[in-house]
Amino acid sequence: MINKVAIQGVIGSFHHIVSQEFFSNPVDVIECMTFDRVVDALITKECDAAIMALENSIAGSIIPNYALIDKYGLHIVGEHYLDIQHNLMGLPNQNIEDIKEVYSHPMALLQCKAFFKQYPHIKLVEDKDTAEVARRIQEKNIPGIGAIASVKAAEIFELDILAHSIQTIKHNETRFVIVKRKNAEVLESEINKASVKFEANHKRGSLATILNVMSDCKLNLTKIQSLPIVETPWKYAFFVDVTFENYLDFKKAKSVIDIMGDDFKVLGEYKNAKI
């Protein structure tokens, strides 16, 4: 059983929400300010699992996190999807006219810029984290200051939400993965998704050949991403996610591609969380 996981951000952050929704038991978290620190906490055995955002529907893949998983040989043991919604919050019994300044992460401020155009009296100030500002408002009991964070953060830090879903693009689904140092003992009967990495050159057909094997083995492709391999011109690494009904089909594909492809690596075999 997992009791402690490393997350990016603090309590009330989206990574924290994933940690509470994914595991069947409550888990403690190690709050990390960078993804490098998240991986560090895992490999130095401060915890037995870590949570990392891998892609979102606005910005696409978070390539550096793929690189971290690949470099440190981590194993993806599960995935979780969250629809990211930003909310404006402050100390109770205030209304939006009382808020003079809003502190948040530059990315959150950017995503909510259109909303704040209606409130020119509010000054936007960059800060290092979203949920951390919510915590500070509560701890130091600061009126007149707003935070942009999750509903969960408002609950934890007992703040009132003054406006819901204030981000410009309303739908921002983010995919998180749960990673471990070693492959978890997921039951084969429960595995219906896998993430793999392989290399191939740009010569015509080399990728198509591998995808044909996957197709012949009844695998459905849900994501593909090529990355040039900097040291080797015209050679590419492909990160591919596939789903399947029968684990034996994936096993068969693995053994065939292993022979054909260079540097074929399974980054994880797990249960598909997307219905």
Question: In the complex, what is the shortest distance from the CB of residue 37 to a second copy, in angstroms, rounded to a whole number?
Answer: 13
State the distance between the two ends of the chain, measured CA to CA, in whole angstroms.
25
Q: Rule CB under 8 A: which of 33-72 touch a second copy?
A: 57-61, 63-64
| Residue (29 or 52) nearer to a second copy, CB | 52
Q: Does 123 bind a second copy (CB under 8 A)?
A: no
Cβ atoms of 132 and 110 within 8 Å: the answer is: no
C-alpha–C-alpha distance, residues 36 and 72, integer Å: 11
C-alpha–C-alpha distance, residues 9 and 77, integer Å: 21
For 7, other C-beta atoms within 10 Å of its C-beta total 26
Question: In the complex, what is the shortest distance from the CB of residue 239 to a second copy, in angstroms, rounded to a whole number?
Answer: 10
C-alpha–C-alpha distance, residues 95 and 174, integer Å: 30
Question: In the complex, what is the shortest distance from the CB of residue 241 to a second copy, in angstroms, rounded to a whole number?
Answer: 9
Distances (CA, A) of 183 to 27, 37, 178, 189, 268: 20, 21, 11, 16, 7
Of the candidates 27, 194, 207, 267, which one interacts with a second copy according to CB under 8 A?
A: 207
Question: In the complex, what is the shortest distance from the CB of residue 207 to a second copy, in angstroms, rounded to a whole number?
Answer: 6
Question: In the complex, what is the shortest distance from the CB of residue 106 to a second copy, in angstroms, rounded to a whole number?
Answer: 7
C-alpha–C-alpha distance, residues 99 and 161, integer Å: 12
Of the candidates 85, 138, 183, 215, which one interacts with a second copy according to CB under 8 A?
A: 215
Q: Does 168 bind a second copy (CB under 8 A)?
A: no
| Residue (85 or 220) nearer to a second copy, CB | 220
DSSP output for 165-227: ---SSS--EEEEEEEESS-----GGG--EEEEEEEEESSTTHHHHHHHHHHHTTPEEEEEEEE
Q: Does 228 bind a second copy (CB under 8 A)?
A: yes
| Residue (4 or 218) nearer to a second copy, CB | 218
Which residues in this chain contact a second copy in the complex, by CB under 8 A? Answer: 57-61, 63-64, 106, 126, 171, 173, 202-205, 207-208, 211-212, 214-215, 218-228, 230, 234, 236, 238, 243
